[in-house]
Amino acid sequence: MGTYAEPSEAEEVIDAMETTFGLERDLQIALRSNIQQLEQGLKIIDEGKELTTEAGKIDITAEDQQGVILVMELKAGAANPGCIAQILSYMGALKEKEQKPIRGILVAGDFPPRVVFAARAVPNLQLRKYTFRFSFEEIK
């Protein structure tokens, strides 16, 4: 029988990063298949994959019923203040290429007060909190 060794701090950080990446990927898949839950009339326009801009990769790009382009940034867990700068940079990069109005939605599990206050200063940015609903099915 082998001995159990406590994971190093670096290993714990890597595990946490992999878990966060996995949760964000799962959140993106779930939202892409149920985009109408976020807002009625949305149409995904990024061909099913993250759109690459000069500012980075946009998680989901959609268009609303009025033709406004919607930039969505997804965060597993709580959003931090840097998330506001991240989504605004994506919106700014798209604005240079598109001749349409652009707005953003930051989706996260929670929003600390600093993030909420920062978002209030940007009229075309919304915050949406996600929650999980589990269902259980008996197999045996």
For the segment 89-117, what is each residue's pLDDT rounded down to a tens digit?
999 999 988 889 999 999 999 999 999 99
What is the rounded distance in angstroms from the CA atom of residue 16 to the CA atom of residue 25? Answer: 14
What is the rounded distance in angstroms from the CA atom of residue 47 to the CA atom of residue 36? Answer: 17
What secondary structure does DSSP assign to 36-54, as a single string?
A: HHHSTT-EE-STTSPEEET
Please name each of the domains of the chain with its CATH number: 9-129 (3.40.1350.10)
pLDDT tier, 16 (very low <50, low <70, confident <90, very high otherwise)? very low
pTM, to two decimals = 0.79
Q: Is 60 exceeded by the pLDDT of residue 19?
A: no
